[in-house]
Amino acid sequence: MTDVFSELKDAFRQRNNGLMKLIVINVVVFLFLAIVNVILWFAGKQSIIIDIMDWIMLSSNPIKFITRPWTLITYGFAHSLNDIFHILFNMLNLYFMGRLVQDFVGSRRVLSIYLLGVVVGGLFFMGIYNFVPSLLIYKGTPLVGASGGVYALIVAAATLAPNMIVSIFGIFPVRLKYIAWFFVLLSFLELANRNPGGNAAHLGGALLGYLFIIQLRKGRDLGKPINNFLEWWAGLFQPKPKMKVTYIKEKAKVTKTATQAKQGKSEQIIASGTVPSQEELDKILDKISEKGYDSLTKEEKQKLFNASRQD
């Protein structure tokens, strides 16, 4: 048990692992609530878990939401305790689609796309219960689950590389854009059936994922405020480094030829992991979309790798 906690602690200290942090938080929250639920069931106090969930789930009632605004985020990290497939399905999609997005645009943007997907999905959920006449009688229905963030990553991945081929169950090759369209169309058709609020959250998350990548290609990072806040928050718990005094000896000047200087600069760029411009990144993504990842040159793969490490 000690080893498990140590591994989790180490995972959260590492950089460039936003995807694993999201998965770990979702799984830990689910297991904690599920264990508490069983304990309370044995004690005959299961009503307490209902009260606990009530402070986590997002309510479609605006009045209740105003008193619990944090639920616009917390609902996206909790899942139904009565359906193990709810979290299993979400975590599988989060892992596979999150990895694709992380390879293209980096770990920090996986976090911001997920969180913004959860927020926009929650707003769509509240909107459908407060503006669709047939659903007004159900105002107060709660929402729980990571689907808004997961759908945001699915559509983001498909927007980045629509023609990338992935294998379903390791057998059926399908282009990413068709997978995204399937999920979006299914949620739209299910709006008029059971769980209209949940499907509205899916569509909200999907819309955010698409807009995020479109704006990113224009040089606008919609997740920058979120990343700045997360960095500030993480900085509160990091110990400040001790001041060090360093003595630097003056080095003799060495004259290089123009060719040597140019070669040295190129090697320095690759070694230092210099991030390519947005225009260069867009060209690489377009090439992947048209011809696949394997068509990239070694230099283009290096640039894409450098871009994914920008965290």
In the predicted structure, residue 239 carries a pLDDT above the cut 80: no
* Greatest C-alpha distance within the chain: 82
Q: Give the model's pLDDT for residue 275.
A: 62
Top CATH class, 2-232:
mainly alpha
In the predicted structure, residue 247 carries a pLDDT above the cut 60: no
Q: Which pLDDT band holds residue 254 (cuts at 50, 70, 90)?
A: very low
Burial class of residue 278, CB neighbours in 10 A (0-12, 13-18, 19+):
middle
Could you tell me whether strands 172-175 and 165-168 are parallel, antiparallel, or unpaired per DSSP bridges? antiparallel
In the predicted structure, residue 226 carries a pLDDT above the cut 90: no
User: What is the phi/psi pair of residue 76, to 5°?
Assistant: -80, 0
Distance from C-alpha of 55 to C-alpha of 98, rounded to nearest angstrom: 28
In the predicted structure, residue 160 carries a pLDDT above the cut 60: yes
Closest CA to 227 of 115, 103, 81, 152: 115
Distance from C-alpha of 157 to C-alpha of 183, rounded to nearest angstrom: 13
Q: How far is CA 163 from CA 92, 102, 220, 293, in A?
A: 21, 17, 24, 10
pTM here is 0.78
Whether the CB-CB separation of 147 and 90 falls below 8 Å is answered with yes
Residue 265 tokens read as 């600069």
Tens-place pLDDT, residues 51-74: 999 999 999 999 999 999 999 999
Q: Give the model's pLDDT for residue 167.
A: 81
In the predicted structure, residue 265 carries a pLDDT above the cut 90: no
CA quadruple 56, 26, 233, 160: dihedral positive or negative?
A: negative
Give the domain ranges of the chain.
Answer: 2-232
